[in-house]
Each structure stands twice: as structure tokens, then as C-alpha cells.
Amino acid sequence: MPVLGWLAGKTLVNLISDYDHWVAFALLLIIGGRMIWDSFHSNDNEGADRDFSKGAVLLTLAVATSIDALAVGLSFAFLSVNIVMAVLTIGGVALLITAVGFLVGRKAGQLLGKRAETIGGIILIGIGIRILLTRMI
């Protein structure tokens, strides 16, 4: 999905190159803001009765994750990122983090809870602000 987003972005880059930093900022702000919002407004017992590893729930989660990856790929096109290196890095880090997540997921979830999602959203917004300021200065 990041590659598809990057390809879409490359076709649009000439049309919006004058304000591409605003697009990257907006995408990261939306994704980060949603993460923060969800961390404060989701029900604590929301997923307790669901099996997230089967059927429509798994498909829905996969599509939601892919949409975020598509948005990141679109941002990469505007920032002239080396897409091969970026995708390999994303894949490698995702593999490593997923493996670690399976090993320590329950304990980390109990320890960090909603704070991890809040921190992640703040980091994404911070990256967006950095992109915006770097281009404007």
C-alpha cells in the first residue's frame, strides 16, 4: 500500500508541488489526531468479546491498516523519499515489531494501555509539524 500511495502521489506531485508540505502535514495530522482521539474515546471493553483473528473483523482491520499505509506512501511521493528503501524499512520494522508484539503484547498492553496510542499520535503530529516548518523556513 505505501507503494500504491507513492505511485498516486508521483502522478499528482507536479500539480501540488507548491503546497506538498501542507498535504503531508495534513495527512499526518489526521492520522495522528485520530490515534489520539481513539485513545481517549474508545470503550475499554470494546474488543473484549471479539475474536480479532478471524473473518470480517480481521479483514476490516487489514483494510484500515492498509489505508494508513496508502496515506504514508502518498506523503512519501511529495517528500521525494526513496520508495524502495522506505518500503523495505517499513516491512522490516513491521516484521520485527509484530514478532516482539506477539511475545510481549499482553504485558505491554496492561502496562501502557491507551498511552501508547496517544504517544504514537503525538509523534506523527510532531513529524508533520517538522515537515511543515522545514519547508516554510
Q: Could you report the per-residue pLDDT of 1-33, keeping only the tens digit for each?
A: 778 878 877 777 677 667 777 877 888 888 888
Q: What is the pLDDT of residues 99-135, one digit of tens each?
A: 887 787 667 667 777 687 787 788 889 988 988 888 7
For Cα atoms 63, 78, 93, give the angle at the middle one, nearest 5 degrees.
50
Residue 31: what pLDDT? Answer: 83
For Cα atoms 68, 70, 76, give the angle at the middle one, nearest 5 degrees.
105
Residue 44: what pLDDT? Answer: 56
Instruction: Report the predicted TM-score, pTM, of the whole model to 2 decimal places.
Output: 0.55
